[in-house]
Amino acid sequence: MIDGVLAGLLLVFSWPTIGYLFLGVFVGMWVGAVPGLGGVVGLVLLLPFTYSMEPVPAFALLMGLYAVTSTSDTISAIMLGIPGSVASQATILDGYPLAKKGQAARAFGAAFTVSAFGGVFGALLMAVSIPFILPIIFAFGLPEFLMLALLGLTMVSVLSGGSIARGLSVAALGLLLTTVGYAEATVIPRFHLGTDYLLDGLSIVPIALGLFGIPELLEMAVKNTSISRVDMSNVRDRGMRRGIKDVFKHRWLALRSSLVGVYVGILPGLGGAIVDWIAYGHAVQSARDKSKFGHGDIRGVIAPEAANNSSRAGALIPTVAFGIPGSPGAAILLSALVIKGLQPGPDMLTVNLDLTFSMVWDIALANILAAGLLMLLSRQIGKVAFLPAHSVVPGVMVVLLMGAWVATSSMGDWWTCLAMGALGYAMKQGGWPRPPLILAFVLGTLIENNYQLTMQVYDGLSWMYQRPIVICIEIAIVVTIVLAARGVTQPKPMRVTQTDNADSAKSLMSLSLATALLALFVWAYLSAQGFDDKDAAQFPVTILTAGIPLLMFVFIQDGRNCFHGIRACGGVGAALHLASQRWELWGSLRFFALVLAAVAMTYAAGQQLALPLFVALYLRSWARFGWPASLAYAAASWLLIWGLYTKALKMHLYPSLLFG
């Protein structure tokens, strides 16, 4: 094996392999940093170039990209509160508050250092784990996958702020959204409202971008504040070095999180989605002082970033050595193996061991390289946090809308994004956690399939008490909920006092949201009763049976809080008036109107014209920029759409009604 390790290292350092690795890293950093693109888009872009290449340089190019997208996606998570990919969701919880405090560079320093550490540690650990990986993978059957997904979902629901009932209700909503369209095991489409778009089911990208991105951009635009709420001159010791020091200070957390990343990452189809949450949960539960989590605790950045990078290495070996791709990215790597005439399987651990180890080294080196390069840039990127909102919002909005368009190139994706933006705004104002919705959406199909398959294969519920790993996970779920319920792992639920108008506005919005969701859940429950296929109804009915009582609990709690709030404000009219001020209602409606105008313009003239027009309109009418600056910004966004999306990514834009 040592021979294989050394031979692999020599292969990576040979020319042109090392050059291709650098190229892959550059492309990976770029596609990871742009919201909506990510590793799969990058791999698809690079795959055709590898057809005529030798296997080692071809995999250096692909692995360079694959390894680092989860490092550079941290940028949008920390700076904008938008998850660049599923893997960077947990980073938002503490990374974005750090940026708001003017400590973006510190968060970057910690994130990039620990990403490099996680990537290298994961690759090395995976290399020595090869002999006993297979028994671990196959110890996890359908019931274990199901329970592990539920554990991940529980952790997110109770750890991402707000009350447990709200967190679980949001998770139920996320699961319900996955039931739109066709399911794997059923023959009828569900909740598609007669539209073709919904028949295909919803896509994760527009949901995530809308839910997280739009509310943050809206707030920046309305308040005209920079990402950082603190002026640059008032922030002391905000630099990257402090972030690096943080990693050394919390080195054991980084080590434990990397271990979690590797061994959860090897689980096909599941690992990559929950690994950051399990690491984050571990960071919270193992900390003595938990009060700062969710408000900018650096440990909340270190744990998920270590885990998501080490999980890339974890996912590689099952793909290469056993032909089990754990994610869409890994499936593309598997294709590349087949194109090169290589058989994934035992040969990769014997005849082609040097190639397998060259891939492990690719991951390790790519992570070091990406972390170094991003650190060089992080001081400059961090300064963006201090720019005035109006110079940031229109550009990011263009990238966000085009990112949503990447999913299926359908206007339905934009409507989904906007609807999720409105929902995200209401959730933010009402104090509801947003991350559970995304993770539930990612895991929903897996949970439904594994539930139905488990019931078929294991005949009944005996698997719940006969399988040791299932029992362990069940205990972990119960412990997580009990600890959270005791208030150990989360802040106290809000209570309205007579003097707190902010909380009054929050509970009014929360009550409105609970009412709307309750109506949606009841409608969905009644609709599901009418499905011809009982298998199609089973999963949504199960979710709703749990979700409706939870929402009713929230509804009652919010109703009580609202009642006190209204009394404190001196009547319904006064409470609504104060709440609308607190919500910045008119400014928010104006922002949505402007975005809707961009959508309408797109129907008429296509994105190539509509989005630059939106930029110009925003800058002139809202930000009061001069014509030259507005037009220059609009021209730059035109160039971005033309160069990046239509030329580089070969995307089709919406056909213009006016110009054909």
Which residue among 5, 9, 44, 422 contacts other proteins (CB under 8 A)?
A: 44
Pick the closer one to other proteins by CB: 40 or 483.
40
For the chain, the 3-state helix, strand and coil shares in percent, each to the nearest 5, are 80, 0, 20
Which range touches other proteins (CB under 8 A), out of 180-188, 206-214, 249-257, 493-501? Answer: 180-188
- Contact between 332 and other proteins by CB under 8 A: the answer reads yes
The count of residues interacting with other proteins (CB under 8 A) is 55
- Contact between 289 and other proteins by CB under 8 A: the answer reads no
Which residue among 9, 40, 574, 617 contacts other proteins (CB under 8 A)?
A: 40
- Contact between 605 and other proteins by CB under 8 A: the answer reads no
Handedness of CA 26, 375, 217, 95 (dihedral sign): positive
16 CB-contact burial (10 Å; exposed 0-12 / middle 13-18 / buried 19+) = middle
Closest by CA position to 258, among listed 292, 286, 282: 282
- Contact between 466 and other proteins by CB under 8 A: the answer reads no
SS3 per residue for 198-227: HHCCCCHHHHHHHHHHHHHHHHHHHHCCCC
Which residue among 334, 411, 481, 502 contacts other proteins (CB under 8 A)?
A: 334
Instruction: Write out the binding residues for other proteins, residues 404-433 only, by CB under 8 A.
Output: 408
Instruction: Write out the binding residues for other proteins, residues 256-285 only, by CB under 8 A.
Output: 268-269
Pick the closer one to other proteins by CB: 592 or 603.
603
Closest by CA position to 653, among listed 598, 642, 336: 642
Give the Cβ contact number of residue 245 at 10 Å. 17
- Contact between 338 and other proteins by CB under 8 A: the answer reads yes
Closest by CA position to 598, among listed 583, 589, 588, 608: 608
Q: Shortest distance, CB of residue 331 to other proteins, whole angstroms?
A: 3
Pick the closer one to other proteins by CB: 332 or 615.
332
Which range touches other proteins (CB under 8 A), out of 96-104, 453-461, 491-499, 589-597? Answer: 453-461
Q: Shortest distance, CB of residue 481 to other proteins, whole angstroms?
A: 29
Which residue among 322, 405, 622, 645 contacts other proteins (CB under 8 A)?
A: 322
Closest by CA position to 509, among listed 442, 623, 588, 615: 588
Give the Cβ contact number of residue 346 at 10 Å. 11
The contact pattern for other proteins, residues 186-205, with x = CB under 8 A and - = no contact, is xxxx------x--xxx----
Which residue among 129, 230, 323, 560 contacts other proteins (CB under 8 A)?
A: 323
Pick the closer one to other proteins by CB: 269 or 294.
269
Which residue among 36, 64, 239, 325 contacts other proteins (CB under 8 A)?
A: 325
Which range touches other proteins (CB under 8 A), out of 90-98, 239-247, 343-351, 546-554? Answer: 343-351
Give the Cβ contact number of residue 619 at 10 Å. 23
Which range touches other proteins (CB under 8 A), out of 14-22, 177-185, 487-495, 605-613? Answer: 177-185
Q: What angle do CA 70, 75, 77 make, to 5 degrees?
A: 85
Which residue among 119, 265, 344, 435 contacts other proteins (CB under 8 A)?
A: 344
496: left (phi over 0), alpha (psi -120 to 50) or beta: beta
Q: Shortest distance, CB of residue 472 to other proteins, whole angstroms?
A: 18
Which residue among 452, 490, 538, 557 contacts other proteins (CB under 8 A)?
A: 452
Q: Are 254 and 452 in contact (CB under 8 A)?
A: no
Pick the closer one to other proteins by CB: 346 or 487.
346
Contacts of 105 (CB under 8 A, 6+ apart): 238, 239, 240, 243, 378, 379, 381, 382
121: left (phi over 0), alpha (psi -120 to 50) or beta: alpha
Which residue among 16, 181, 493, 587 contacts other proteins (CB under 8 A)?
A: 181
Separation of alpha carbons 312 and 319, rounded Å: 11
Would you state the structure tokens that stand for residue 327, as one six-digit string? 């994610």
Contacts of 146 (CB under 8 A, 6+ apart): 447, 450, 451, 454
Give the Cβ contact number of residue 188 at 10 Å. 13
Q: Shortest distance, CB of residue 335 to other proteins, whole angstroms?
A: 5
**Enclosing H/E stretch for 583:** none
According to DSSP, the residues that pair with 181 across neighbouring strands are 190
Separation of alpha carbons 118 and 22, rounded Å: 19
Which range touches other proteins (CB under 8 A), out of 36-44, 224-232, 523-531, 618-626? Answer: 36-44
Which residue among 236, 486, 624, 650 contacts other proteins (CB under 8 A)?
A: 650
- Contact between 373 and other proteins by CB under 8 A: the answer reads no
- Contact between 642 and other proteins by CB under 8 A: the answer reads no
The contact pattern for other proteins, residues 607-636, with x = CB under 8 A and - = no contact, is ------------------------------
State the residues that interact with other proteins by CB under 8 A. Answer: 40, 43-44, 47-48, 51, 138, 141-142, 181-189, 196, 199-201, 268-269, 322-325, 328-335, 338-339, 341, 343-347, 408, 445, 449, 452-453, 456-457, 533, 650, 652, 655
